[in-house]
């Protein structure tokens, strides 16, 4: 034993113990894991929240000194970024100016023209201010060129000099240009971007206050103009700033101004993520999600797929969080951008282990205890998990030795992440998996209990206690399935996408989330703007209140003390601009009819202290970015504002007017324009409403047209499809109305019991107690119908014509041709009479020529109730059939036909009386109590209820030259079946008999490919070789009697039992390939195609299974009593019977293609038997009639 093997064994044992532990104590382990996750994530609370919003830090102005580069440990309240000098110190001079008193002779332009004009003198003052040989030029931040892309801003923003911006920049800081400007507003607004914008505009930058607060507008109600002169200083000189402040205050005193001046605010800007950086990031995240999607899609065979997928994702995510938390705990502050490396970390850590674990656990034998299953699954995969982990650690270690700091850090993270991921996989995920498996077993048990209860006890032995686990099954490959049914539906990709969108309503959700995010961005960037916008809307919409009673403006001059805002509001200061009080008063007195015109007031409130806060948070970064100075990860210091109040006399305003200013509309026209805007507002609102209603109606119509019903409900996990309420599937395709019309074949007086066909001929028999047959083929050798009639049920034989052009409506035209061929009831005729009248050569052969067998003594007892029940099931016919006593006489025609086979020209029927009868239009051969017979080429195998098997050989002595082939050789794919003409001498003899083939009654018998397969009540399936009737295998694995068997030429053998289980066997080796539980109650029929197995059960459910994996693809709910009627037309077309109709299903996708109604009324009898003929026709019983349905499209496809 090498070291490696020993190591492997040890690891395996350790994992086994660990699995036992996890599965034994799931709840404590999950609690422990959650606690450890939370503990490890705790340090994350200290990390700053992600986001690009700026961070502020306030210090006092007096004792300010430039912070040093070294971090000062004792000053813990200082943020990390507060080191070194700032990019710039921002000094704002906040100017509020108004023309007062307001006068009716003034035009709206006067509100801002003269106040703006004063900016030039202020600028002059600031530029020329000198304090002890320090000028602004020496202190200010010198800027160079603008960025190349900003040519259009060159005229406005300063270049090659101090960064000093003010509204005067619009006019290149030249008074003469300002005075010559005929339309100031146009100049201001020509630089505004069109449409919606979230970043700072040029107007914001130059005015330094939010656009709405500038008051530069024709309709300003307050008539106060606010703007700032913004100076960026590169170094801070407290004395210079103080002297500038003092000087400006002296020149333009602001009475009652209580702005605080002792705080400076440092604003730190995070790295801004631009769109260009976002695109690769988004791409990596999309790839990440695709990876997670494709990975979790592989989780199979568990109770809750979504739950486990969620657990897997949670495992990976929390391991990442844990790694970040642990790294922070140990002082490794992450310098990498977490969002960027995160996807790569997930990809490195991966979901593979989780998937491997799940797969390994679910493939352990189901009959083991959950604990043992988990332990086994874990230990099976232990070696590969450890190997992978070691490899990954090695790779990361190599990465660590690249000595590139970023890569080293990434590797460190990855190592911690890997280890924590391993921990979580072992503890968290394994436990979740064990819970899931346990839930599945419980569900499994619950599902199977009613089925067992509804079944007759298979053996009289002691009932198994229900608590005990199911008996161990020998095969190690047993898989119990409860896969979600919609999985593995092989839908085309586009449909899958559509389904996905429809199921998750992804589009709506994305739009909703997008809207919310957009609103969030709006509010976040410009809350003040939004609010003022709303306020403006409100005030504009109420013109009456405004005009009738100006809130306080009319009162304020008269009773200043009475104004509640008088502490903050200032009357026009008398000193700088002495009010022409009397003039104004007289003016008003002269026009008593005119409403008092408000005089503007300049107020200073605490909100003016930090007016920059109401700017966009990108205000400063964008200003600096124009000069290619980035503020990312740096900070600026904003000095307290210097307030400046300007009062201008009306005379001054009139003096500075531009000649064109008076051309503007006078104030009364404002009202009308207000009204107009109101009207347009209403118009827009009405139009919007109308458009919205139209859109909704349109969508509704679309919805109705495409999907009248059932929208989005088909994706429900159980995936059952009901015929009745499926007129339309999820993608809006509704199956077309029937174009295929069924052909009814009448001839039986009672319900049809058996159907058989060899492709050319169709034989049917009913319960009526008479047998008849008719045979013709394209008029080639038409015999008189009714040649032979014998006692017992009818047997009708119908010719089936191959249709060369099947889709044409001429189908109906052929109907009269067929009806005369149909033989009607001949049951009343005595056999001897018919024999003599038939005139066939074989008349004498009928005379008990083939009565080889005497009634065996075992037939003396009546059939046991389970047997008869079983028989009924296997044929899926009427439950009215009474269990009959086997009649002792051979010539009893009251017995019904239980089995029928048709090959070539021979019909073999097995009767309840125990007779085997062979007809060659007129042949009779009698036998015993037959359950099932199978007619091979020349051999007849008959199985009996007493468990014995009989092999007969039919010999036909043909006269030479009489061999003919029936049917036009149109289709080469079908072998022409030989015809046994009436000249043949047919003899049938018993060659072998296996007396004790089964311990209990044989229930099913199938033969193909040289093998005879029998299923019995004794829970076994036996495979015999046809030539020497040697028993090859006894297949054990069912826990109930066998009810259905399928075998075809390719040696595929499937069996279904009373336990609802379906087993697929390898006929060559006798081993069980797969074993699935699919039905509540018996499996009534089984069909295999190359890719899937179709089974139907007593629960009227048709299940479609994947043949190779044994996964249930989907199931179809049948109507009551029609469960067993199904047939496969081609690889992809399934046909099922229903109440008076047959339905076609697309086997690959599980879609209902079409429903064909057999009769006029939809509530006809159910289709209980259904036979698919080789030439793509379907024969089904419809009460006492036969219905022949051609499927033309399939023929087209075959062509």
Partner 1 sequence: MYSGALMRRGPYISMITNRTMNVLIRAAVLFMVGVFLALVLNLLQVQRNVTLFPPDVISSIFSSAWWVPPCCGTAAALIGLLYPCMDRRLGEPHKLKREWSNVMRCVAVFVGINHASAKVDFANNVQLSLTLAALSVGLWWTFDRSRSGFGLGVVIAILATLATQLLVYNGVFQYTSPDFLYIRSWLPCIFFAGVITVGNIGRQLALYEYKVSQEKTHQD
Structure tokens at 793: 């049920």
- Tokens 């125990």 sit on residue: 914
What DSSP string describes 100-143? SS--TT--TTHHHHHHHHHHHHHHHHHHT-EETTEEHHHHBPEE
DSSP symbol at 572: P
Under the criterion CB under 8 A, does residue 275 sit at the interface with partner 1? Answer: yes
Residue 1170: which H helix or E strand, with range?
strand 1170-1172
- Residue number, 134 or 487, with CB nearest to partner 1: 487
Question: CA–CA separation, 454 vs 869, rounded Å?
Answer: 13
Question: Quick check: 1064 and 1107 in contact, CB under 8 A?
Answer: yes
Under the criterion CB under 8 A, does residue 294 sit at the interface with partner 1? Answer: yes
Segment interacting with partner 1 (CB under 8 A) among 143-151, 412-420, 712-720, 1108-1116: 143-151
- Residue number, 288 or 419, with CB nearest to partner 1: 288
Segment interacting with partner 1 (CB under 8 A) among 208-216, 622-630, 965-973, 1043-1051: 622-630
Under the criterion CB under 8 A, does residue 334 sit at the interface with partner 1? Answer: no
* Binding to partner 1, residues 807-826 (CB under 8 A): 807
Instruction: Decide: helix, strand or coil at residue 44.
Output: helix
Question: CA–CA separation, 1060 vs 1082, rounded Å?
Answer: 5
- Residue number, 216 or 1133, with CB nearest to partner 1: 1133
Instruction: Decide: helix, strand or coil at residue 256.
Output: coil
- Residue number, 193 or 605, with CB nearest to partner 1: 193
Question: CA–CA separation, 648 vs 572, rounded Å?
Answer: 10
Under the criterion CB under 8 A, does residue 404 sit at the interface with partner 1? Answer: yes
- Least distance to partner 1, CB of residue 200, Å: 11
993 burial type by CB count under 10 A (0-12 exposed, 13-18 middle, 19+ buried): middle
- Least distance to partner 1, CB of residue 625, Å: 6
- Residue number, 851 or 1091, with CB nearest to partner 1: 1091
Under the criterion CB under 8 A, does residue 271 sit at the interface with partner 1? Answer: no
- Least distance to partner 1, CB of residue 208, Å: 20
The 298-317 site mask, x for binding partner 1 (CB under 8 A), equals x-------------------
Distances from the Cα of 950 to the Cαs of 301, 854, 906, in angstroms?
44, 13, 18
DSSP alpha helix (H) spans, 155-223? 175-180, 184-189, 202-207
Under the criterion CB under 8 A, does residue 780 sit at the interface with partner 1? Answer: no
- Residue number, 642 or 1176, with CB nearest to partner 1: 1176
Binder among 287, 675, 985, 1030 for partner 1 (CB under 8 A): 287
Q: Which residue in 1138, 1126, 1136 sits closest to 1165, CA to CA?
A: 1138
Under the criterion CB under 8 A, does residue 2 sit at the interface with partner 1? Answer: no
Question: CA–CA separation, 270 vs 338, rounded Å?
Answer: 14
Residues 6+ apart with CB under 8 A from 564: none
User: For the stretch 509-537, what's the b/e string if a residue is b when 16 or more beta carbons lie within 10 angstroms of its beta carbon?
Assistant: eeeeeeeeeeeeeeeebbebbeebeeeee
CA atoms within 13 A on the CB side of 879: 6
- Least distance to partner 1, CB of residue 2, Å: 25
Under the criterion CB under 8 A, does residue 737 sit at the interface with partner 1? Answer: yes
Under the criterion CB under 8 A, does residue 343 sit at the interface with partner 1? Answer: yes
Q: Which residue in 483, 448, 482 sits closest to 1059, CA to CA?
A: 448
Angle of helix 352-362 relative to helix 305-329, nearest 10 degrees, comes to: 140
Under the criterion CB under 8 A, does residue 280 sit at the interface with partner 1? Answer: yes
- Residue number, 408 or 532, with CB nearest to partner 1: 408
Question: Quick check: 264 and 233 in contact, CB under 8 A?
Answer: no
Q: Which residue in 1115, 1101, 1097 sits closest to 1057, CA to CA?
A: 1097
Cis status of the peptide bond prior to 101, with omega within 30 of 0: yes
- Tokens 């075809």 sit on residue: 1048
Under the criterion CB under 8 A, does residue 589 sit at the interface with partner 1? Answer: no
- Least distance to partner 1, CB of residue 1088, Å: 13
- Tokens 């009269």 sit on residue: 816
Binder among 344, 383, 400, 782 for partner 1 (CB under 8 A): 344
Question: CA–CA separation, 514 vs 784, rounded Å?
Answer: 80
Instruction: Decide: helix, strand or coil at residue 1163.
Output: coil
Binder among 565, 630, 804, 805 for partner 1 (CB under 8 A): 630
- Tokens 């073999």 sit on residue: 908
Binder among 155, 242, 390, 406 for partner 1 (CB under 8 A): 406
Question: CA–CA separation, 201 vs 618, rounded Å?
Answer: 10
Segment interacting with partner 1 (CB under 8 A) among 398-406, 558-566, 719-727, 828-836: 398-406
- Residue number, 30 or 386, with CB nearest to partner 1: 386
Under the criterion CB under 8 A, does residue 145 sit at the interface with partner 1? Answer: no
- Least distance to partner 1, CB of residue 232, Å: 17
- Tokens 């202190």 sit on residue: 139
- Residue number, 289 or 533, with CB nearest to partner 1: 289
Residue 306: which H helix or E strand, with range?
helix 305-329
Segment interacting with partner 1 (CB under 8 A) among 45-53, 231-239, 250-258, 284-292: 284-292
Under the criterion CB under 8 A, does residue 740 sit at the interface with partner 1? Answer: yes
Residue 280: which H helix or E strand, with range?
helix 275-296
Segment interacting with partner 1 (CB under 8 A) among 544-552, 683-691, 694-702, 1143-1151: 1143-1151
Question: CA–CA separation, 61 vs 53, rounded Å?
Answer: 24
Total residues at interface with partner 1 (CB under 8 A): 60
Under the criterion CB under 8 A, does residue 1153 sit at the interface with partner 1? Answer: yes
- Least distance to partner 1, CB of residue 663, Å: 37
CB atoms within 10 A of CB 1157: 18
The 1059-1098 site mask, x for binding partner 1 (CB under 8 A), equals -------------------------------xx-------
Q: Which residue in 904, 903, 902 sits closest to 964, CA to CA?
A: 904
- Residue number, 736 or 813, with CB nearest to partner 1: 736
- Least distance to partner 1, CB of residue 374, Å: 24
Residues 6+ apart with CB under 8 A from 1001: 863, 864, 867, 870, 931, 944, 945, 946, 947, 1016, 1017
- Residue number, 298 or 958, with CB nearest to partner 1: 298
- Residue number, 876 or 1127, with CB nearest to partner 1: 1127
Segment interacting with partner 1 (CB under 8 A) among 51-59, 142-150, 481-489, 668-676: 142-150
Binder among 492, 527, 562, 715 for partner 1 (CB under 8 A): 492
- Residue number, 492 or 527, with CB nearest to partner 1: 492
Under the criterion CB under 8 A, does residue 733 sit at the interface with partner 1? Answer: yes
Question: CA–CA separation, 996 vs 532, rounded Å?
Answer: 98
- Residue number, 548 or 736, with CB nearest to partner 1: 736
Residues 6+ apart with CB under 8 A from 459: none
Angle of helix 338-349 relative to helix 405-424, nearest 10 degrees, comes to: 50
Binder among 423, 522, 1132, 1159 for partner 1 (CB under 8 A): 1132
- Least distance to partner 1, CB of residue 496, Å: 13
- Residue number, 486 or 626, with CB nearest to partner 1: 626
- Residue number, 38 or 395, with CB nearest to partner 1: 395
Segment interacting with partner 1 (CB under 8 A) among 31-39, 302-310, 528-536, 623-631: 623-631
Report the interface residues with partner 1, using CB under 8 A. 147-150, 274-277, 279-280, 283-284, 287-288, 290-291, 294-295, 297-298, 340, 343-344, 347, 350-351, 395, 398, 402-404, 406-407, 492, 625, 628, 630, 632, 733, 735-737, 739-740, 807, 1090-1091, 1130-1132, 1144, 1146, 1149, 1153-1154, 1191-1193, 1196-1197
């Amino acid at each position: 034993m090498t070291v490696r093997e020993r190591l492997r064994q040890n690891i395996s044992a350790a994992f086994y113990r660990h699995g036992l532990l996890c599965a034994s104590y799931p709840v404590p382990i999950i609690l422990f894991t959650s606690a450890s996750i939370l503990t490890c994530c705790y340090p994350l609370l200290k990390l700053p929240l992600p986001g690009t919003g700026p961070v502020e830090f306030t210090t006092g102005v007096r004792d300010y000194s430039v912070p040093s580069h070294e971090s000062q440990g004792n000053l813990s309240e200082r943020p990390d970024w507060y080191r070194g000098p700032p990019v710039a110190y921002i000094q704002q001079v906040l100017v509020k100016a108004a023309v007062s008193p307001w006068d009716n002779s003034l035009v709206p332009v006067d509100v801002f023209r003269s106040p703006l004009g004063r900016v030039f003198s202020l600028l002059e003052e600031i530029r020329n201010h000198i304090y002890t040989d320090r000028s602004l030029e020496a202190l200010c931040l010198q800027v160079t060129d603008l960025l190349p892309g900003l040519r259009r801003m060159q005229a406005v923003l300063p270049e090659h000099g101090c960064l000093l911006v003010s509204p005067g920049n619009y006019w290149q800081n030249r008074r003469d240009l300002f005075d010559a400007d005929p339309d100031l507003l146009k100049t201001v607004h020509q630089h505004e971007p069109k449409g919606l914008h979230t970043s700072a505009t040029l107007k914001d930058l130059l005015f330094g206050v939010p656009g709405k607060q500038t008051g530069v507008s024709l309709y300003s109600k307050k008539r106060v103009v606010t703007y700032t002169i913004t100076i960026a200083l590169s170094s801070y000189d407290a004395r210079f700033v103080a002297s500038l402040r003092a000087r400006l205050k002296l020149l333009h005193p602001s009475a009652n101004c209580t702005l605080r001046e002792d705080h400076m605010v440092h604003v730190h800007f995070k790295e801004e993520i631009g769109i260009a950086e976002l695109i690769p990031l988004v791409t990596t995240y999309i790839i990440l999600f695709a990876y997670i999607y494709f990975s979790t899609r592989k989780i199979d065979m568990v109770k809750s797929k979504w739950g486990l997928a969620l657990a897997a994702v949670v495992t990976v995510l929390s391991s990442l969080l844990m790694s970040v938390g642990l790294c922070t705990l140990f002082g490794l502050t992450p310098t990498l951008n977490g969002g960027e490396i995160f996807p790569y970390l997930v990809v490195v850590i991966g979901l593979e282990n989780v998937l491997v674990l799940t797969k390994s656990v679910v493939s352990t034998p189901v009959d083991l205890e959950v604990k043992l299953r988990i332990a086994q699954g874990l230990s099976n995969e232990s070696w590969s998990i450890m190997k992978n982990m070691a490899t990954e650690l090695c790779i990361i270690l190599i990465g660590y030795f690249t000595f590139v700091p970023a890569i080293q850090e990434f590797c460190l993270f990855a190592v911690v992440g890997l280890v924590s991921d391993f921990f979580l996989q072992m503890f968290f995920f394994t436990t979740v998996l064990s819970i899931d498996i346990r839930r599945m077993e419980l569900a499994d048990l619950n599902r199977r209990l009613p089925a067992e209860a509804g079944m007759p006890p298979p053996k009289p032995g002691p009932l198994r206690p229900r608590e005990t686990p199911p008996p161990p099954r020998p095969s190690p490959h047993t898989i119990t399935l409860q896969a979600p049914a919609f999985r593995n539906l092989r839908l085309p990709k586009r449909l899958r996408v559509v389904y996905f969108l429809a199921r998750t309503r992804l589009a709506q959700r994305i739009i909703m989330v997008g809207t919310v995010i957009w609103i969030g961005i709006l509010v976040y960037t410009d809350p003040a703007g939004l609010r003022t916008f709303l306020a403006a809307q409100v005030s504009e919409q109420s013109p009456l209140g405004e005009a009738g009673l100006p809130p306080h403006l009319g009162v304020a001059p008269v009773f200043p003390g009475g104004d509640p805002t008088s502490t903050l509001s200032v009357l026009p200061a008398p000193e700088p601009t002495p009010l022409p009080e009397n003039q104004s008063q007289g003016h008003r007195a002269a026009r008593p009819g005119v409403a008092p015109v408000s005089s503007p007031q300049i107020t200073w409130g605490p909100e003016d202290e930090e007016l920059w806060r109401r700017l966009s948070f990108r205000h400063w970064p964008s200003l600096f970015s124009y000069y290619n100075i980035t503020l990312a990860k740096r900070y600026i210091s904003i000095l307290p504002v210097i307030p400046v109040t300007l009062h201008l006399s009306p005379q001054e305003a009139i003096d500075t007017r531009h000649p064109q200013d008076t051309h503007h509309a006078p104030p009364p026209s404002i009202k009308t324009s207000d009204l107009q805007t109101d009207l347009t507002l209403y118009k827009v609102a009405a139009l919007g409403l109308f458009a919205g209603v139209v859109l909704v109606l349109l969508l509704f119509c679309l919805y109705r047209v495409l999907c009248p019903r059932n929208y989005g409900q088909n994706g429900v996990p159980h995936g059952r499809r009901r015929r009745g309420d499926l007129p339309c599937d999820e993608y809006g395709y509704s199956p077309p109305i029937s174009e295929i019309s069924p052909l009814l074949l009448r001839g039986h007086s009672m319900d049809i019991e058996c159907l058989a066909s060899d492709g050319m001929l169709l034989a049917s028999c009913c319960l009526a107690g008479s047998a008849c047959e008719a045979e013709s083929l394209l008029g080639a050798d038409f015999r008189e119908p009714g040649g032979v009639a014998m006692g017992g049920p009818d047997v009708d034989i119908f010719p089936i014509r191959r249709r060369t052009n099947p889709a044409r409506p001429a189908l109906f035209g052929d109907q009269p041709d067929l009806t005369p061929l149909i033989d009607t009831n001949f049951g009343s005729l005595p056999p001897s009479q018919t024999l003599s009248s038939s005139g066939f050569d074989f008349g004498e052969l009928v005379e008990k020529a083939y009565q080889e067998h005497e009634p065996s003594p075992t037939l003396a007892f009546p059939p046991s109730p389970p047997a008869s029940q079983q028989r009924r099931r296997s044929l899926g016919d009427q439950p009215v059939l009474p269990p009959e006593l086997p009649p002792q006489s051979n010539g009893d025609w009251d017995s019904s036909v239980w089995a029928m086979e048709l090959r070539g020209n021979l019909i073999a029927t097995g009767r309840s009386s125990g007779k085997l009868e062979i007809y060659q239009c007129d042949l009779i051969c009698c036998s015993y109590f037959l359950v099932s017979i199978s007619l091979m080429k020349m051999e007849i195998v008959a199985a009996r209820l007493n468990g014995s098997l009989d092999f007969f050989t039919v010999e036909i002595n043909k006269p030479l030259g009489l061999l003919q082939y029936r049917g036009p050789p149109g289709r080469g794919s079908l072998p022409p079946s030989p015809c046994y003409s009436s000249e043949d001498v047919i003899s049938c003899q018993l060659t072998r008999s296996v007396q004790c083939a089964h311990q209990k009654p044989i229930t099913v018998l199938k033969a193909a490919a040289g093998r005879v397969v029998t299923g019995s009540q004794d829970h076994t399936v036996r495979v015999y070789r046809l030539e020497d009737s040697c028993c090859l295998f006894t297949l054990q694995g069912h826990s109930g009697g066998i009810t259905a068997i399928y075998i075809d030429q390719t040696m595929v053998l499937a069996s279904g039992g009373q336990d609802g289980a379906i087993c697929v066997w390898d006929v060559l080796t006798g081993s069980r390939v797969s074993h699935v539980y699919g039905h509540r109650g018996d499996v009534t029929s089984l069909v295999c195609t190359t890719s899937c197995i179709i089974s139907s059960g007593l629960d009227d459910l048709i299940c479609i299974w994947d043949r190779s994996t044994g996964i249930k693809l989907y199931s179809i709910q049948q109507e009551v009593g029609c469960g067993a009627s199904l047939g496969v037309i081609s690889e992809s077309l399934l046909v099922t019977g229903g109440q008076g109709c047959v339905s076609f299903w697309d086997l690959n996708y599980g879609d209902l293609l079409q429903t064909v109604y057999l009769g006029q009324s939809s509530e006809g009898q159910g289709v209980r038997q259904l036979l698919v003929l080789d030439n793509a026709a379907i024969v089904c019983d419809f009460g006492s009639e036969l219905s022949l349905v051609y499927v033309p499209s399939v023929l087209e496809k075959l062509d």
